[in-house]
Amino acid sequence: MSITVTISGPNAPALATAVEAFLADSLATRAERLPPPEDQPIQRSDPLAVAALVLAVPGAIAATLDLAARARLAERIDRLLERVRGTAAPADSVRLTSGAAPELDLITAKRDEVLDRLEHAPDGTDSDPTMG
């Protein structure tokens, strides 16, 4: 699976830390911090917000978990969304992208939307990250 979380705004470092903690705790993976792509402008509502981070998640998280693991992952996604929403300022942006699917705004997303996106992220296989 290959997903990207693009974070911008004045609270980008704190938001990135929350997302990285979620990935490490919930999916046992470490995201790689990358500079934003030059051909993709960072969306900012605050022109003074200069912090922008991209977290690239390796394909290693595409595994299969059982139903209980899916429920645990859903709970962890809830905690992630609470942390993101509690940390984010109006000028912040936290967007999850995977394949050709539209960007998913993690500040406003629902748990099931995030879970579905993680499950269906393209990796060239039919693997499901919620399956062990």
How confident is the chain (132 residues) per 10-residue block, as mean pLDDT? Answer: 78 87 81 70 45 51 56 90 93 86 91 86 51 46
Question: Can you list the positions of beta strands (E) in the chain?
Answer: 3-8, 32-34, 52-57, 93-97, 104-105
Model confidence over 89-125: pLDDT tens digits?
Answer: 998 999 888 778 888 999 999 999 998 888 776 654 4
pLDDT for the residue numbered 65: 41
Q: Which residues pair with 8 in a beta bridge?
A: 52, 93
Contact 64, 19 (CB under 8 A): no
> Hey, what are 82's tokens?
């609470």
Question: Rounded to two decimals, what is the model's pTM?
Answer: 0.60
Give buried/exposed letters for 101-128 (b at 16+ CB in 10 A, else e): eeebebbebeeebbbebbbebebeeebb
